[in-house]
Chains A and B, each alone.
Chain A
């Protein structure tokens, strides 16, 4: 039997969580080492998977497949597999959780055992979503990725955490319930067509749903999943959640959880209901302008670093939505690349803000001045993050955004102009916050602030920045992988569009 690579990547954090749960309370170092080692091995395996992934033309669409029957009467299987899109997402998740554990090593001071436990369970769920090819498991993992947020925010959170926790749970549960309606409809429809019920996503994706069926149920899925992206106007849980969450959770939340929504839109909405996508994605192109411009302008007016980055995150997810709305190869490739790049960038952002907040106990931009003098290393990293966020070339974000612009310009010119303007807005608030907090006369109040001196402090930032730069300077290899997942998807979307056109003509 082949080595179950995907299961290993996915279960390592869960094993870590289980070991942590039996460690004696007070074994602070043990908890940390277990987390870092399990996520570290998982990261190494993810990198191996990325390298081993076969991008040649004749390769299978899903690779490293593991398939074990489970409940045969209902058609449930334990079925894992990755295509180019999921590979990049798994890699992203592994990087974010590994750096997140490193950051939490120092920043978590109370109940660390429970914290790391929930954190690792959460990651188990996230990996599961990205790898699962069985719809039932997909949905379970999707929920599993959300549930640990409740204790993580509620216990270790700050500022208005009860409100934020409640809001987040209600939004996300409600969203996934709406999606569930459409998923069940699809399950039974496909069961009717195929003659047997199955949750196998590769089968479900190849079932010919009628155009009417797709058009009706598409918005359920779209809006259900898009709440997690978050697509405006279903976004307000997100900045509040960011602000309340402890550092590592913010990193995961913005870096990975938000991508779950976008991933679900790609994997379920676009892949299963291509005809519905052709009808409904222009609506997304309209709504994503709200994300990019409105979200950006709100971020510009925020004085709290975390809220600023929170709104900035939903603003950036607008580029992802715009890319997806293009339903063509370049656009979806760009969208996935933005998902990857934004995940890394925003993890960096929240880890830096967390660093400052842990020491200064304030996150208000106006409380700071001339910080670059006192904490130069963090200051430099923050500048780099700001540049990446503002879509500067040399960083992965730029490549993705550029591809989205190129793809969208022909289809949605107005939205594209708004998107490019969104870059200016981002640059405005990013540079303003640097000017206000890091430049200017050094405030003696922060003279004692400790910079990131140790290896442990610096490692997460260095890792994340390196990824952004490497992909930004030479995106070709990663895009090659992503594209293997995008191409079959777009073929399907094009076929659906073609069918609809001929249907219209014959009528």
Chain B
């Protein structure tokens, strides 16, 4: 009997293949097949999900595997793993995925590559579910790369556009750099611990983790984390994510906001048994996340493209999640509240960020521009988009009682109680910047009179329905997660937690403080951008930040730095190698030998003249010299 989880994994792949091989020409049918390919896994996931809710925190992991490689010395199994963490991710990926698929059907209407789009989307869902259901590091690596392909194909969806073609390569290559570390990390871990399997590694490390050298474990953990940094776009491997917005907006919502980019967080969660034995690596995780959170939030202040603002906000929020994973004080008290908080934020963020991206898609669909300074006055023309976006905006801003508030609060609380004061303040500053730049987006793009002569109109129901569902989730998911539903379950952290301490205390002081900070950010945003309508050239940020604004606008010149490196180092090494090949190996070596052979042939040929006289001469010469030598 095949375990039902295999169906969850393979149904999207079947959708993808069906579209590619059979229904390519029938666009509507293709989109329905693709939607079914994510909706059916969602329905199937409900079964373990309710089992989990009813389990009161005692859910036994279920593994179902198949031998994939079996030679003496190496056995690799592929399979599916159903445990609380994977169930949560399954729910998020398939749930949000279904809504975004529906939205995409409306959004992509009339596109030439409609079927291709949905085939790629199904491929993505397959690979993403593969990551989530992985039982071991090799499997997760395999699907890790596959989501990279799906992402590459979807970023490059408008392949005729040079910028999209460029962005797709950039995304793929940046991820490859992260994966370079990832695979090496897996190898180091394998040769240290002797297994690829998550639970086996957890058991081995739990029983005799102390016998391994901390240095080796730290190297393994850091290398694996490099993979997470690539996929989750953490500084300095973040450069691809803003450019990835070249893809169609549903793609940005699904892949580059809600699901794929949080795979890094998921990987860190899976690597936790290793990380807790490698304090230096754990601390690196925390600081990389914290730095990304503040770094991206500042850049978002100076962007004008609605999707790029949201992209940087995504970066910043993922930074929060990664930071939350790392804020564990391993030296003193082992309190893992950050783990639960991080996964909680993954969930709420998936809802409200998908909502924001889809909302922006709805606007772009209507206005045909991505520049916030081209929009304005949307309330009258697209009320559903307007109000749902408003909810998403408040949720991201971290205002109670919306979803973002609760999870963000837990993260800051975790940082605080574990004594990561610098990170706590960095996070708090980011928590102030977020409502501020979101207010800028909101007041410029949505409120006030029209800025240009656009003909905005409300999107069809297939697009607004997902918005409404997500808006509801963005309102309630935080409260439900925090407090649970009486009689059903005891809140999020009762089933997603690491170690034995499931529920951290509520930090009332931090709650009050972050509410004030969020409100302050919102107010200031209104005061600058909402009080009266201003044009782009009047943006007061430019005045206040003067030269620094330019730096932010150019994203701290990371792209320039990398391009310089690629042009002047990577490409030049390649050119140098080619020079060596052409001139030294072939020119000097190979052709040189050929030349020598030819020349010596030309010289030696002289001895074979065919004239009897010259042979006789040499003969006489030889005899004379022999006689001469023997006599004397």
Contact = CB atoms under 8 A, between A and B. Distances in A.
Interface of A: 167, 170, 233, 236, 294, 297-298, 300-302, 328-330, 333, 370, 372-373, 387, 392-394, 398-399, 402-403, 405-407, 409-410, 416-417, 420-421, 423-424, 427-428, 431-432, 434-435, 438-442, 474-476, 479-480, 483, 486-487
B578 A406 contact: no
B65 to A, nearest CB: 12
Interface string B136-150: 001001110110010
Contacts of B361: none
Contacts of B512: none
Interface in B53-105: 67-74
Contact of A439 (B72, B165, B173, B573): B165
B574 A393 contact: no
Contacts of A297: 573-574, 577-578
B489 to A, nearest CB: 36
7 contacts: A236-B581, A294-B580, A297-B573, A416-B184, A439-B164, A439-B168, A440-B160
Interface in B173-213: 173, 176-177, 180, 183-184, 187-188, 190-191
Contacts of A424: 173, 176-177, 180
B141 A298 contact: no
Contacts of B164: 439
Contacts of B571: 300-301
Contact of B71 (A421, A434, A483): A483
Interface string B562-578: 00000000110111011
B585 interface: yes
Contacts of A170: 594
Contact of B589 (A233, A294, A298): A233
B21 to A, nearest CB: 10
B386 interface: no
B165 A435 contact: yes
Given A406-B74, A427-B176, 16 more contacts: A233-B585, A297-B577, A297-B578, A298-B577, A301-B571, A302-B578, A392-B145, A392-B146, A402-B138, A405-B183, A409-B187, A420-B183, A431-B172, A435-B169, A438-B159, A483-B72
A328 B191 contact: no
Given A329-B73, A393-B142, A476-B68, A236 B578 contact: no
B242 interface: no
B169 A406 contact: no
Contacts of A294: 577, 580-581
B160 A442 contact: yes
Given A393-B146, A427-B172, A428-B173, A475 B68 contact: yes
Nearest to A300: B574
A187 to B, nearest CB: 30
A487 B73 CA distance: 11
A109 to B, nearest CB: 31
Contacts of A474: 68
Interface string B119-152: 0000000000000000000100111011001000
A301 B176 contact: no
| Chain A interface main SS type | helix
Given A236-B586, A300-B574, A402-B138, A439 B156 contact: yes
B545 interface: no
Nearest to B141: A393
Nearest to A427: B176
Contact of A432 (B72, B169, B177): B169
B574 A431 contact: no
B187 A405 contact: yes
A372 B574 contact: no
B589 A441 contact: no
B588 to A, nearest CB: 11
A370 B183 CA distance: 33
B72, B176, B573, B581: which has the most chain A beta carbons within 10 Å? B581
B590 interface: yes
A440 B172 contact: no
A387 B152 CA distance: 11
A364 to B, nearest CB: 15
A393 B581 contact: no
B632 to A, nearest CB: 42
Contacts of B142: 393-394, 398
B371 interface: no
B453 interface: no
Contacts of B141: 393
B166 interface: yes
Q: Which of A329, A373, A428 has the most CB of B within 10 A?
A: A428
Contact of B160 (A394, A399, A410, A439): A439
Contact of A409 (B166, B191, B586, B589): B191
A122 B305 CA distance: 60
B173 A427 contact: yes
Closest 10 CB pairs of A and B: A439-B165, A393-B142, A301-B578, A297-B577, A439-B159, A300-B574, A409-B187, A297-B574, A301-B574, A330-B74
Given A330-B73, A442-B160, A431 B187 contact: no
B280 to A, nearest CB: 21
A414 B166 CA distance: 32
B577 A387 contact: no
Contacts of A435: 165-166, 168-169
B161 to A, nearest CB: 8
B538 interface: no
Contacts of B575: 301
A464 B80 CA distance: 29
B143 A298 contact: no
Nearest to A410: B191
B509 interface: no
Contact of A387 (B149, B187, B574): B149
B143 A441 contact: no
A160 to B, nearest CB: 12
Nearest to A429: B574
B111 interface: no
Nearest to B196: A406
Contacts of A480: 70
A480 B67 CA distance: 11
A486 B70 CA distance: 13
B68 A420 contact: no
A393 B172 CA distance: 14
A236 B590 CA distance: 8
Nearest to A431: B169
A440 B159 contact: yes
Contact of A328 (B73, B146, B160): B73
A439 B172 CA distance: 15
A506 B354 CA distance: 71
A298 B574 CA distance: 6
A50 B38 CA distance: 38
A420 B172 contact: no
Which of B142, B149, B165, B172 neighbours the largest number of chain A CB atoms within 10 Å of its CB? B165
A441 B166 CA distance: 12
A420 B166 contact: no
Contacts of B184: 409, 416-417, 420
| Central interface residue in A399, A409, A417, by most chain B CB within 10 Å | A409
B74 A403 contact: yes
Name the residue in A405, A476, A483 with the highest tally of chain B Cβ atoms < 10 Å from its Cβ: A476
A301 B143 CA distance: 30
Contacts of B585: 233, 236
Contact of A298 (B69, B145, B578): B578
A165 B166 CA distance: 39
A422 B93 CA distance: 33
B159 A333 contact: no
Contacts of B73: 328-330, 407
A420 B180 contact: yes
A410 B71 CA distance: 17
Contacts of A387: 149
A298 B589 CA distance: 17
Contacts of A393: 141-143, 145-146
Given A409-B191, A416-B187, A438-B159, A421 B180 contact: yes
